[in-house]
Amino acid sequence: MVVASAPGKCILFGEHAVVYGQPAVAVAIDARVELTIELAESGWSIDGMSFDKTRHPHMDSVRKRLWSNDGGPALDLQVSSDLFGAAGLGSSAAICSAFAAGLLHCRGTDSGALPYSGIATTAHLAEADAQGGRASPTDTSTVTLGGAIYVSNQKESIADWQFSRDLRIDGELRSWEIHCIDLPESLSEASLVIGFTGRPGPTGEMVAKVADLLKNEPERMTDIERIGHVTRAGVTALNLGNLEAIGIAMNECHRLLQGLGVSDPDLDRMVDAALPSSLGAKMTGAGGGGCMIALTLEPRRTAEAIELAGGRTLVSSLGAPGVRIEKSADVPIWNS
């Protein structure tokens, strides 16, 4: 038996704009997805039911790329998660990353030598397959590498470059450079309070909504560029450990995302409720439901305010560890 896990993620700055080559920053959070993998006696199964690729398109993509196309045997999979599902917290990215790491370990890769860029690439391609071809590598890189991740269209001297990703989106080749940001110690005093609306955030639909807006009103690309400027200011603030400036950049991102039409009344109400006790608050991820986040020095007070506004909450530090093998196999499960 092999057990692999990966964290969820929150985007601090830059969602949606990152699909169009602007930068984004995300952090891994303390809630994780865990995947148990065992050899199956009969066919593929997930949580005791036969594996249905239409219900699990992301996992089907990972399975094909790392296992089935090479003739690997059927497996039983069990998924358990501390994350709110389909809520913009990267649960599908985390499952893909844990699955990719788990399969590589089942094929003999040492748990201490996981190829992070290969795992993140497999997970990114799986997200793109399931998101109508439009997906940035933000979620999949963050849940794989952990910590704080800066995705940019160029190599940045302000952060620690890890690897490059590219993908053809709507006929145009997009390239992203993935970096780690070393978070200053001073940020450990702050918490992220995550508020879930209770409704899923339909990522593919919201990404398509922004694509339609930009097609019909190309001048709105300036809003996408503005998100990029705010993100760069946010990165400087993160590097300096300047909590007030990070909060201001988060608030500005929320205002711009509202302008793109991807926030919604529940998210706005929870953001407004969090603001008096926080440094900054915004929707996170694709929007249209899903989650908001608040950066705060008073997590209990902020969580109470969000709950009074109708949200379910989860409190996290900034920058949890990335994908890892929790339980190793003594010998490869499949010696390919």
- The set of catalytic residues is 139
Regarding 263 and contact with ligand MEV (CB under 6 A), the answer is: no
Regarding 285 and contact with ligand MEV (CB under 6 A), the answer is: yes
Regarding 277 and contact with ligand MEV (CB under 6 A), the answer is: no
Residue 212 and residue 94: Cα distance in Å, rounded?
Answer: 28
Which one of 138, 144, 242, 302 is in contact with ligand MEV (CB under 6 A)?
138
Can you read off the two tokens belonging to residue 208? 């398509």
Residue 334 and residue 65: Cα distance in Å, rounded?
Answer: 15
Residue 69 and residue 309: Cα distance in Å, rounded?
Answer: 48
Which one of 33, 66, 103, 135 is in contact with ligand MEV (CB under 6 A)?
135
* Neighbour tally for 115: CB within 10 Å: 14
Regarding 15 and contact with ligand MEV (CB under 6 A), the answer is: yes
Q: Strands 45-46 and 75-81: what pairing?
A: parallel
Regarding 264 and contact with ligand MEV (CB under 6 A), the answer is: no
Q: Which residue has the tokens 């790329």?
A: 65
Q: Total number of residues binding ligand MEV (CB under 6 A)?
A: 14
Regarding 207 and contact with ligand MEV (CB under 6 A), the answer is: yes
In the three-class reduction of DSSP (H, G, I as helix; E, B as strand; rest coil), residue 162 is classed as: strand
**Measured between alpha carbons, how far is residue 74 from residues 38, 42, 123 in Å?**
9, 7, 20
Nearer to ligand MEV, 169 or 329 (CB): 169
**Measured between alpha carbons, how far is residue 20 from residues 128, 206, 221 in Å?**
14, 14, 9
Which one of 18, 35, 130, 295 is in contact with ligand MEV (CB under 6 A)?
18
Minimum CB–partner distance for residue 281 and ligand MEV (Å)? 17
CA 254 to chain CA centroid, nearest Å? 17
Regarding 313 and contact with ligand MEV (CB under 6 A), the answer is: no
The DSSP output letter for 215 is H
Nearer to ligand MEV, 3 or 289 (CB): 289
* Residue count (the chain): 336
Of 133-141, 158-166, 215-223, 231-239: span binding ligand MEV (CB under 6 A)? 133-141
Which one of 88, 234, 288, 322 is in contact with ligand MEV (CB under 6 A)?
88
User: Given the rule CB under 6 A, which residues bind ligand MEV?
Assistant: 11, 15-16, 18-19, 88, 135-136, 138-139, 203, 207, 285-286
